[in-house]
Chains A and B, each alone.
Chain A
């Protein structure tokens, strides 16, 4: 499943969001869950993901009001660039991470036995991917970014990103099916 909740005229909205809290709220509501999901995937900790989400949006807001975002740029790529930097800060600050009392994306699913097996199988397959490949999947499916947006973020062409993502999906499909035959 792929959630779509596309913003019309994002450029104009971003421009308005520099000075209008309502316009910023639209951006916030649109990007909140993709950003939160991405951060949760990176830190596996609900409280920390919430804290990082807060930091990222605060920095985005300050960046917009201080005209640090270039008009006509790719807002999603800018947002997730900030998010990645905060994640990097997080791992510099946290040499060890506390076990939380909150759910994580995998554990929630463990309640269902069949899904648990599938998630375990998927986790095992994902563990065989490189960090760069895992990051592409996170950006595509947790952050819900378009191939073009990931391209801007990664410094690659849209076609190259698309090909890389499909290769990863093909790899997962192939090994998933093998595992069941």
Chain B
């Protein structure tokens, strides 16, 4: 496999992972359902049938949890006495790449020396092991053949004398480099009872092969941890809004970077953050509004277990900066989505009496008020449907849905619905017609809280003198992206390229600025929340004397003119100011161009895409050429929830024949009946040259701070 293919393969694997396995259930939901199941289980089985052995096992497990610290201290001191080596045992807080932050006073062990095993021509090597009080993390590389990281279906165990095998909790893998046939594999295990004795890693079915590798651990040394400054060992917290705080948990500083961990925490019992409506991040700015670049380095295996924590890397600081960490939620909103659970022991309840002659379709007026903490709800009625009992509830503005439950034997499950026509609905599923009064319990309230979660923070100084003050907008050395010559022998493609070049040419005469505005209307798919139905994108390009883009600013607006996200690019370095993401691109400068058609035309043959064109009229009355690209599927695709199957997909491009501007673009599905279903329409509203952009745009660019 050549370099390019391997690189591309890695992208496919990551996309597959993100698409299929990127989601986890929210912890509050998982906890609540487990509690609900336990309660229901208790009701389903008589008490005298419960397992004694399981209760005994649990009791032993609870006891063991309290003992390892003492046992570890004894073994560590014994080890030190034997070896005479002085290690930094005890209070060791800081950041360990791949492992995360250590807890205060956590006993940490690392791999004593690399270990490896060979099977045929395949070598599996243990590179890193970090064993803490709560888990053990391990990084290995496998070399020898060509593998897809996606096809790692391995299982791993740690074997220690007189101990049961410890099975790994999770595994992940990723391609290491384009040059070598090498895949990095990570395993995470539960904590070891005794990390000081020798152990063996047993790996099963790693690309069809088994490995056994003995290895030993030693206490970590000071210089192996990026230390957490003493003054930062107390978390900084934002104001609590609705019971939720943004917390700066940990900070570690090195001469070339600052690493910090932030989390969203509930300061009220049984309150969950629901991941703040999906994605949350932070921005880090100074008194002048300059935004610092952040790279999310949350270890993958740790991120799987902690929903509301991120670890970021940024530049080193002098110690005099006055910074603000601010929560940002995607899509932009000043609200976070929360859940409040009510444990069965003291949850709000009301009695529901179905009365007599109950049948599907029967309705009840209830007007039952429920006070649950700060929430005031009123159950106005109920109806019996095929699904079960559906309760209609008037609610506070902040409440988006609720979940009811009942211990009545008829109840099989419970659910909630989002707001419909002003009220919310809670469903209790039944296995039969209710004929006895039942107690209805309020289990959970979903609600939103508005606010700005901010932490004022004076960061610790980097340890060495080369701590760099942030430098504004330095332009790295970049090379222009080569422009293709003699692109095609296809006369139509050649004509389209000439038209596109005709439009682009005057805008490539720099130095100058180009201002572009586009509007996009999208038909949202089921469950899609971004992009919104209407999106306006405004771009400002600074064009250098050679016609290449030196700097640019991009702003997305919603239909009310509110900025959804803004980003700035200086040379090859981009920062998303709304969410804090930053990084370098492909190391080249790009020529300014409004052409998106010829690339698609150039690859149409390869994909068997049919290209047709016809005369049309632009919306401004000019003559337009409509180019249609149509990809017909081998067999129709029926997506769940869609009324018709798709038989193909396509794109429309409208080109102003006079100016050469591609004024409008559409993507569409072709349905079974031959009609087209438009997904997205993009109109170019404005392309203009200006001498100078507004000061606000220059201000954005001045905020771009590049990682040294």
Of B16, B25, B529, which one neighbours A33 at CB under 8 angstroms?
B25
Contacts of B414-443 to chain A: CB distance below 8 A:
414-418, 420, 427, 429
> Distance in Å from the Cβ of A15 to the closest Cβ of chain B?
10
Interface contact A144-B21, CB-CB below 8 Å: yes
Query: A157 an interface residue at 8 Å Cβ cutoff?
Result: no
> Distance in Å from the Cβ of B581 to the closest Cβ of chain A?
7
Query: B23 an interface residue at 8 Å Cβ cutoff?
Result: yes
Which residues on B sit within 8 Å (CB–CB) of A109?
18-19, 22
Interface contact B41-A36, CB-CB below 8 Å: no
Query: B304 an interface residue at 8 Å Cβ cutoff?
Result: yes
Query: B8 an interface residue at 8 Å Cβ cutoff?
Result: yes
Interface contact B400-A101, CB-CB below 8 Å: yes
Q: Say whether chain B's binding surface is mostly helix, strand, loop, or mixed.
A: mixed
Which A residues contact B (CB, under 8 angstroms)? 1-6, 8, 16, 18-25, 28-29, 32-33, 36-37, 40-47, 50-51, 53-55, 57-59, 61-62, 65, 87, 91, 93-94, 97-112, 115, 118-119, 121-124, 126-131, 137-138, 141-142, 144, 169, 172-173, 176-181
> Distance in Å from the Cβ of B454 to the closest Cβ of chain A?
21
A124 CA to B566 CA, complexed, in Å: 27
Which residues on B sit within 8 Å (CB–CB) of A111?
279, 281, 330, 579, 581
Which residues on A sit within 8 Å (CB–CB) of B153?
2, 4
Which residues on A sit within 8 Å (CB–CB) of B524?
99
Interface contact B15-A141, CB-CB below 8 Å: no
Interface contact B18-A119, CB-CB below 8 Å: yes
Q: Which residue of A is nearest B427, CB measured?
A: A51
Q: How large is the interface on B (under 10, 10 to 19, 20 to 34, 35 or more residues)?
A: 35 or more
A79 CA to B518 CA, complexed, in Å: 48
A5 CA to B154 CA, complexed, in Å: 11
A129 CA to B54 CA, complexed, in Å: 46
Q: Which residue of A is nearest B44, CB measured?
A: A65
> Distance in Å from the Cβ of A138 to the closest Cβ of chain B?
7
Interface contact B16-A122, CB-CB below 8 Å: yes
> Distance in Å from the Cβ of B553 to the closest Cβ of chain A?
15
Of A19, A40, A54, A138, which one neighbours B45 at CB under 8 angstroms?
A19
Interface contact B418-A131, CB-CB below 8 Å: no
Residue from B19, B526, B634 with most neighbouring chain A CB atoms (10 Å): B19
Q: A111-B581, A118-B15 are in contact. List 13 more A-B contacts (CB 8 A).
A: A24-B41, A50-B29, A51-B415, A98-B420, A100-B529, A107-B530, A111-B330, A115-B18, A118-B14, A122-B12, A130-B635, A131-B637, A173-B12
Interface contact B528-A138, CB-CB below 8 Å: no
Interface contact A176-B529, CB-CB below 8 Å: no
Residue from B34, B275, B646 with most neighbouring chain A CB atoms (10 Å): B34
> Distance in Å from the Cβ of B157 to the closest Cβ of chain A?
10
A21 CA to B24 CA, complexed, in Å: 23
Q: A53-B25, A105-B18, A111-B579 are in contact. Are A100 and B418 (CB under 8 A)?
A: yes
Q: Which residue of B is nearest A48, CB measured?
A: B415
- B17-54 vs A, Cβ < 8 Å mask (1 yes, 0 no): 11111111110011001101110111011000111001
Stretch in B166-174, B210-218, B352-360, B462-470 touching the partner: B166-174
What are 28 A-B pairs with beta-carbon distances under 8 A?
A: A3-B170, A4-B156, A4-B168, A5-B169, A6-B167, A19-B49, A21-B50, A22-B54, A37-B20, A37-B24, A54-B33, A55-B413, A59-B412, A62-B412, A65-B44, A65-B45, A91-B640, A93-B386, A99-B529, A101-B400, A103-B275, A107-B529, A124-B649, A127-B637, A128-B633, A131-B637, A169-B150, A177-B8
Query: B519 an interface residue at 8 Å Cβ cutoff?
Result: no
Interface contact A50-B25, CB-CB below 8 Å: yes
Query: B508 an interface residue at 8 Å Cβ cutoff?
Result: no
Which residues on B sit within 8 Å (CB–CB) of A28?
33-34, 37
Which residues on B sit within 8 Å (CB–CB) of A94?
641
Interface contact A110-B530, CB-CB below 8 Å: yes
Query: B504 an interface residue at 8 Å Cβ cutoff?
Result: no
A129 CA to B38 CA, complexed, in Å: 40
> Distance in Å from the Cβ of B294 to the closest Cβ of chain A?
13
Interface contact B17-A1, CB-CB below 8 Å: yes
Which residues on A sit within 8 Å (CB–CB) of B607?
178-179
Query: B489 an interface residue at 8 Å Cβ cutoff?
Result: no
> Distance in Å from the Cβ of B150 to the closest Cβ of chain A?
8
A19 CA to B173 CA, complexed, in Å: 38
Residue from A37, A42, A107 with most neighbouring chain B CB atoms (10 Å): A107
> Distance in Å from the Cβ of B417 to the closest Cβ of chain A?
7
Interface contact B637-A129, CB-CB below 8 Å: yes
Q: Which residue of A is nearest B51, CB measured?
A: A20
> Distance in Å from the Cβ of B450 to the closest Cβ of chain A?
15
A61 CA to B525 CA, complexed, in Å: 34
Which residues on B sit within 8 Å (CB–CB) of A54?
33, 36, 413-415
> Distance in Å from the Cβ of A155 to the closest Cβ of chain B?
21
Of B149, B171, B526, which one neighbours A45 at CB under 8 angstroms?
B526
> Distance in Å from the Cβ of A117 to the closest Cβ of chain B?
9
Q: Which residue of A is nearest B646, CB measured?
A: A127
> Distance in Å from the Cβ of A95 to the closest Cβ of chain B?
9
Interface contact B15-A3, CB-CB below 8 Å: no
Interface contact B24-A128, CB-CB below 8 Å: no
